[in-house]
Amino acid sequence: MFPVIGIVLIIAVVFFVVRKRTHRVDVPLQVSETVSHFAPGVAIGSSVKQSTGKLAGVQWVPRVGYVGSLPEASGFVQIRLYPDAATRSKAGGDQEAPVREVEFVSTSSEELTKRMLEMGIVWRGIMPKEGCITSLTVEDPPQRRVQYWTTRSDRGGIALVTDWDLRPNQKPGPVVWSMVTWAGPFQGAQHLHAAFEPRSCLDSLNAGDPKTDDATESVETLNVAFRDSVWTGGASVRQAAEERSAPNATPMTAQACNDPGRLSPTQLHTTMLVDVDLPIDFKLTNLAKAEADAERTGYARYTWRGDDNSTLTIEASSDVHSGWTGLIDSECDLTIDGRAAHVDIANASTYGADFVVHGYFNMESATGLTYIAHARSHARQEQLLHALRTVSVKPRWGSRRAE
């Protein structure tokens, strides 16, 4: 009996020691798998030396951390490994220090859309929490929206931080955004290395007095330098995109408060939950499934597609600005179909034609309805802006089937 117990104890001790060496922090699977997917070999809890083995051009930036590059195929162009505060304060860093956070930086709005969809899968449809970063060190700073997820027990999380270059007298620059990953309870400004507030960037009435320190300002300085380098280096890319599609380089003509009117032949689409009058080339792509969901739950996600790959989705949402990303050009509060509606006109991409018409209907006693259109031209955007005003919501919206 003793030998068996002894063997079990030895196995337990060995397991504990191995686990302690390889998992110095408790990293949730959602976080660890996301990090390893985009940067194989990098791991929160491992030493900087272990995590930088497969990275290119890694450099130490005082008060920031280790900064390297990633292959374009990953969807990111830069990676930042943040050790603890004591290590970050050193002039030369420490290769043996453990990685506490990993940040991935991108300039592709298309990749941002992909990551948002993936986060919905990773976090099993849980809606992200909202936050806002207000720079205290940069004049006329870009808006920085924070959408973040944490585990139920707050053991770690992932945040998507987005901003745009809005310098005066310039066209909007490439979208600069990042994905921040960490283990342990969310610490807000400490994890995001910025003046973070747990509020929507649209909620200026609740703006507080965010604080910064030397380390935060160092990261902000790096962000400004990075945005400037992207602006300069991306000039040829933007020019080529504008030459390929000159109409898309001109300012948007659609205005949220204006109805362009019926600009082309249309067809009324009638479903169990909504009616909408759309350009004649639009086809409903998921009728059977959507109607089955509507009958069973009172809600459905209807998706239409036009011949030019413009799309429209009508679905349930409880967030007035959910389901899309991009720079708002104009917004307006209207009454449509007898209901209060908020309308946004936006540009979701600086490289391709992705012009958004977004509408949110307040349904009072039921979950709200969201209208999200992605147009491939300015003319199409105006068509879909008019179509938004033709939406009619059926009384069955939000009503479950009687069992």
Helix boundaries (H) for 193-310: 214-233, 235-244, 287-297
Cα gap 80→294, rounded to integer Å: 45
Concatenate the DSSP letters of all residues of 30-99 into one string. Answer: HHHHHHHHHSTT--TTSBHHHHTTT-EEEEEETTTEEEEE--GGGT-SEEEEE--HHHHTSSS--TTSBP
Largest CA-CA distance found in the chain, in angstroms, rounded:
87
Cα gap 164→176, rounded to integer Å: 6
Q: What is the identity of the amino acid at 399?
A: S
pLDDT profile of the chain (403 residues), mean per 10: 40 39 73 95 95 91 92 89 92 92 88 86 89 67 81 95 57 70 94 87 61 69 72 48 45 84 88 95 93 93 91 88 71 92 82 82 89 90 95 91 54
The pLDDT score that the predictor gives to residue 300 is 94
- For residue 101, the cross-strand partners are 82, 182
Cα gap 79→83, rounded to integer Å: 13
Label residue 70 exposed, middle or buried (CB < 10 Å: 0-12, 13-18, 19+). buried
- How do residues 337-353 score in pLDDT, each as one tens digit? 999 999 999 887 655 67
Joined together, the tokens standing for residue 205 give 């009435």
Of 63, 36, 62, 72, whose CA–CA distance to 51 is shortest?
A: 36
Please check whether residue 106 is in contact with residue 177, taking contact to mean a CB–CB distance below 8 angstroms: yes
Please check whether residue 382 is in contact with residue 263, taking contact to mean a CB–CB distance below 8 angstroms: yes
Please check whether residue 55 is in contact with residue 79, taking contact to mean a CB–CB distance below 8 angstroms: yes
The pLDDT score that the predictor gives to residue 13 is 37
The pLDDT score that the predictor gives to residue 36 is 94
The pLDDT score that the predictor gives to residue 144 is 80
Q: Where in the chain is the domain with CATH 3.40.1000.10?
A: 249-393
The pLDDT score that the predictor gives to residue 83 is 95
Q: How far is CA 44 from CA 69, 110, 185, 219, in A?
A: 18, 27, 14, 19
Cα gap 178→226, rounded to integer Å: 12
The pLDDT score that the predictor gives to residue 20 is 42
Joined together, the tokens standing for residue 124 give 């099993």
The pLDDT score that the predictor gives to residue 140 is 52
Q: How far is CA 169 from CA 73, 76, 165, 173, 272, in A?
A: 33, 28, 11, 11, 48
The pLDDT score that the predictor gives to residue 172 is 46
Instruction: Please state the CATH superfamily assignment of the domain spanning residues 249-393 in this structure.
Output: Mog1/PsbP, alpha/beta/alpha sandwich (3.40.1000.10)
The pLDDT score that the predictor gives to residue 168 is 44
